[in-house]
Structure 1
Amino acid sequence: MKILIMSDSHGLTSEIIDIKNRHQDEVDLMLHCGDSELPYNCEELSGFIGVKGNCDFGSSLPNEIIEDLHGTTLYMTHGHLYNVKMSLMNLKYRAIETNAKIACYGHSHIAGAELIDGVVLVNPGSIRLPVLRRQKTYAILEMKDNLVNVTFFEVNGHIVNELTKEFSIE
């Protein structure tokens, strides 16, 4: 299973469409981790499952999503309600509460993936305002059996090799 993950697009539209068009035929699911600042039913986000970010004022999107991915649970939230700019501990605990092996979030605009206490935590970064690096990023997560591979891409589709990681989950 392959999942496109983006976050913190903050009003961008053509970039979302370009990324969606580039990958929609190769992925099974498309996620937006919040702060799109676009209406819930806009054309750009059609096909995406999304959550509400702290800048999505008046949005009817949920604060969290829990998805069953053929027996593996995925948890998604924006991250502001879990203070992810300070620590991933609260997010990790919430993921564990939901029995999630994968937790996707945004808010900090810092791209990265790590395995903490059996949970793969993925922040795709921001396609508008990246933090700690110059590349504006999104990610594709691929699951095969117990292996999870997270590949990061720049908005133009080029792979960011130094961020790409593979994890084994039970």
Structure 2
Amino acid sequence: MKALIISDSHGLRDELLVISERHMNNVDVMIHCGDSELELNGKELQDYKVVRGNCDFIGAFPEELVHNLGEYKLFATHGHLYGIKQSLQSLYYRSQEVGAKIVCFGHSHIMGAELINGVLFINPGSILLPRLRKEKTYAILEIIENQASVTFYTINGEIFLTTRYEIGA
């Protein structure tokens, strides 16, 4: 199973279309973790499952999303409601409430992935305004059995970094 994860595009339109076209035949789901700053029914977001970010003022985007990715539950939110810039603790507690082993979020614009107590946290970074690095990034999560790999791509589709994790059922 594969999921494309993107966040914090802040008004970019063509780039979202290019990225979805680039990967639409290679992934099972595309998730936008908020701050698209676009309309809910816009063509740029038609292929994505989208949550509301703190800069999304148009459209009735949900605050959270739970999606079954094979045998794993994936939880997506923007992160601003969980104080992710201070700690992932509240987000971890929410993952436990919904039974998710994968958590996708944005808000900080800082690309990264880490495993905390069996829960894989993924922040794809930003395709407009990355922080702590210059590369504008998004991610693709691939799960085969209990092995997860997170590959970060630059906005141009070049592989930037791949990390691997063992996640429990």
| TM-score range normalised by the length of the shorter chain | over 0.9
Q: Give the structure-1-normalised TM-score.
A: 0.97
Q: Per-residue CA shift, 1:99-122, capped at 9, x if unaligned?
A: 100000000000000000110000
Q: Distance in 2 between matches of 1:132 and 1:24?
A: 29
User: CA shift at 1:43, angstroms?
Assistant: 0.2
Is 1:167–2:165 an aligned residue pair? yes
1:57-96 matched pairs, under 5 angstroms: 57-96=57-96
- Structure 1 moving runs of 4+ over 6 Å: none
Q: Distance in 2 between matches of 1:73 and 1:28?
A: 14
User: CA shift at 1:68, angstroms?
Assistant: 1.5
Identity percentage of aligned residues: 54
Secondary structure in 2 matching 1:40: coil
Deviates more, 1:100-109 or 1:88-97: 88-97
Q: Distance in 2 between matches of 1:98 and 1:113?
A: 20
Q: Give the structure-2-normalised TM-score.
A: 0.97
Q: Distance in 2 between matches of 1:70 and 1:141?
A: 12
- Runs of 5+ in structure 1 lacking a partner? none
Q: Distance in 2 between matches of 1:70 and 1:159?
A: 24
Secondary structure in 2 matching 1:97: helix
User: CA shift at 1:59, angstroms?
Assistant: 2.7
Count of residues paired in the alignment: 168
Q: Which residue of 1 aligns with 2:20?
A: 20
Q: Distance in 1 between matches of 2:58 and 2:82?
A: 20
Is 1:138–2:138 an aligned residue pair? yes
Secondary structure in 2 matching 1:100: coil
User: CA shift at 1:71, angstroms?
Assistant: 2.0
- The alignment's C-alpha RMSD in Å is 0.7
Q: Distance in 2 between matches of 1:9 and 1:137?
A: 10
Q: Distance in 2 between matches of 1:17 and 1:64?
A: 23
1:1-150 matched pairs, under 5 angstroms: 1-150=1-150
